Structure 1
Amino acid sequence: MAAYVARLSGDDWQAWANQILSCHYGPADYQTIPDKDRGDAGLEGFCPSKGHAYQAYGCEEPVSVQERYEKQRGKMTTDIGKFIANAPILSKLLAPTKIRRWILFVPQFDSKEIVAHASKKTAEVLAANLPYVADDFRVMVCQEDEFAIERDKLISASTKGLQIKSAAITAADLAQWTSTNDVLLEALERKVARLPTLTSDAQRATFVQQVLTWYLDGQAVLDRLRGYPQVYEKVVATKSHREAFLAMTAMQGGKSNEILMATLKELRDTLEREAKELHNFSAEQLAYEAVADWLIRCPLDFPEVASV
């Protein structure tokens, strides 16, 4: 049930990384290196005043910790090889800058082994006695969270918004939840039984599974959204504000299915308005999560007798 930011891979990640780095150093102190002619020579860009050189890499997610490490290790090995082998090209590109840090910039890293691998590569570069390498040179790895201010600034200015996807919820995920939440499951099933559009036990059981999928899917998105505190707080505040008025929903009358759909629409519209940083797909996911959560925990209820 892991979640991940959809753009964090391949060319999309490289473009995003360059935006973050340009925002961090300033557009006049971060030089990107185009790779359309004969490759990037092992560098995405560099900061002349600091002597920092970057290579961006985002592998396809989701992957395990070990798989992520192996992919990042392979990328670091390949591009440090280019950094050493392409001395004639890099001497021209970097002069008179001396590189103090070669940094693999990734969406996230979670294995200490990649740091150990960076130390090994540091020794290889220093041993090569390159004219564009400083005496205190070091290979490092850093991740997006370390540029949180720049990231959030760019997200706030984006017209597309932050899109977060979650891995598909499996039958095992649903079984694990239901095995430890029998009281909540019973409450959900009782409410679903009041929906007049569901006319058979099979339909009701299927819808219960769908609600739980919305809930677990949205919980994964919310968990990843914690890495974007400004946006996360807006989502939580919006959900809490709407929840405070849910008790009035059933009292106002109407069919159960109409109450459900109206609540979904209102929350989705409010999220899109209050948390403009979100892509509308993510706003919709979070709206479904909230409604599923309310159905499970009971803030959202339906009239005892549904009219057909």
Structure 2
Amino acid sequence: MGTHIPRLCGEEWENWANKILSVHYGPTEYQQVPDHDRGDAGLEGFTRGSGHAYQAYGCEEPISTADRYEKQRDKMTKDIGKFINNRSILTRIFGTVQITRWAIFVPHCDSKDMIAHASKKTSEVKSAELPYVADTFQVCVCQQSDFSVAESQLLNAAQMQLRFSAESPTPQQIAEWNEANEGPSQVLAEKLFRLPTLVNDDARSKFHSQVLDWYLMGQDILDGLRAYPETFAKVKSAKSHRESFLVTGIVSGLPPQDHLMRSVNDLREALELEVRELHRFSSESLAYEAVADWLLRCPLDFPEVVDA
């Protein structure tokens, strides 16, 4: 079980990185370098004033920290080689610009070894005595979260919608979660006895598994959303806000099943309004995750059924 492609990769990441950099620096400061005419010059673009050169790279996810490091390290090694060996074409591209930083721009970096590798490559570039390299030159690593303000501006302006697709947990995964979380699972079971639409043990057992399915799938989507910190914070804020009003549903006199579905719909509408960059399918999944979480933790409850 896990979210699919929580981070962009390949050409999609390169295109998104160029947009982020253009917004961050400004379109007349950041110069993208096309690679369609005479091949890849070893960089995505550069800035005219500060002399920052960028190469974007996003590997296929999900991937371990060790494998991610190896792929990012190899990409840096390859493109620093181009930065050194493509002296004649880069001299013409940079003109009078002196490059102070060469950065590999990745969706996520979680290995300190990449910093050490960048230091090693800094020495190699300086030893090459390139005409377009400044005395203060450094090779470095940048990641998506470093440009959160520019990314937020892009998401809000273009209404780019983030869509996450999570795999449904297997019966074994649900059983393992039940065993490891006996307390919340028992709380949920007790609440389901108060849903009059669940008329027997078999119906309650199936719905119990369905609620855990909502919860675990939603948790995977939330994990994917951590790659977009501002969006993640808005989702958590909307959930917290709606949670504070759950008690009003209990005293409203609504039947438990209606109170349950109203809670889902209220949060889904709140997410669609407050987190507009989130695809409506993801908003719906997160609304169901929230209701499952509330049922497990106790913020959402149903009144006792009183026999007539």
Which residue pairs with 2:39 in the alignment? 39
Aligned residue runs from structure 1 range 166-245, under 5 A: 169=169, 174-195=174-195, 198=198, 201-222=201-222, 225=225, 230-245=230-245
Give runs of aligned pairs for residues 111-122 of structure 1, distance below 5 A.
Answer: 111-122=111-122
Question: Does the residue aligned with 2:134 lie in a helix, a strand or coil?
Answer: strand
Tell me the distance in 2 between the aligned counterparts of 1:84 and 1:272.
48
Distance 1:187 1:233 in 2: 28
Runs of 5+ unmatched residues, structure 2 = none
Q: Distance in 2 between matches of 1:245 and 1:170?
A: 33
* Partner amino acid, structure 2, of 1:260: L
Tell me how large the CA RMSD over aligned residues is: 2.9
Contact 1:271–1:283 (Cα < 8 Å) also in 2: yes
User: In structure 2, what residue type is equivalent to 1:65?
Assistant: T
**Equivalence for 1:16:** 16
Aligned residue in 1 for 2:92: 92
Q: Match for 2:273: what amino acid?
A: R
Compute the TM-score of the two structures, normalised by the length of structure 1.
0.86
Give 3-state SS (helix, strand or coil) of 2:266's partner. Answer: helix
Pick closer, same or farther for the CA change 1:25–1:298 going to 2, 3 Å: same
For residue 142 of structure 1, give the secondary structure of its aligned residue in structure 2. strand
The range that moved more, 161-170 or 108-117, is: 161-170
* TM-superposition CA deviations, 1:99-143 (whole Å, max 9, x none): 121100011101111111112222222232322222332211111
Which residue matches 1:298?
Answer: 298
Secondary structure of the residue aligned to 1:145 is: helix
Structure 1 residues 171 and 57, CA gap change in structure 2 (3 angstroms): farther
In structure 1, the residue corresponding to 2:140 is in which secondary structure?
Answer: strand
Is the deviation greater in 159-168 or in 51-60? 159-168
Distance in 1, matches of 2:167 and 2:54, equals 30
- 2:60 is matched with 60
Residues in 1 aligned to 2:126 and 2:185: alpha-carbon distance in whole angstroms:
61
Cα distance change of structure 1 residues 129 and 165 upon mapping to structure 2, 3 Å threshold: farther
Q: Please tell me the residue identity of whatever aligns with 2:188.
A: L
SS state of the match for residue 27, structure 2?
Answer: coil
User: Which of 175-184 and 194-203 deviates more?
Assistant: 194-203
Query: TM-score with structure 2 length normalisation?
Result: 0.86
Structure 1 CA distance for aligned equivalents of residues 136 and 244 of structure 2: 58
Between the aligned partners of 2:155 and 2:68, the Cα distance in structure 1 is 25
User: Hey, what's the Cα distance between the residues in 2 that align with 1:63 and 1:168?
Assistant: 20
Give 5+ residue unaligned stretches, structure 1.
Answer: none
- Residue 39 of structure 1: how far off its partner (Å): 2.7
Kept after mapping to 1: 8 A contact 2:30/2:46:
yes
Partner SS for 1:37: coil
Instruction: Go from structure 1 to structure 2 and tell me whether the alpha carbon gap of 1:172 and 1:36 turns closer, same or farther (over 3 Å shift).
Output: farther
- Over the matched positions of the two proteins, sequence identity in percent amounts to 53
Q: Distance in 2 between matches of 1:262 and 1:289?
A: 14
Structure 2 equivalent of residue 278 of structure 1: 278
Alpha-carbon displacement from aligned partner over 1:134-171 (angstroms, at most 9, x marks no partner): 23322111111112222222222231334455576566
State the shift of 1:172 in Å. Answer: 6.6
Amino acid at match of 1:242: R
Cα offset, 1:89, TM superposition: 1.8
Distance 1:109 1:229 in 2: 15
| Count of residue correspondences | 307
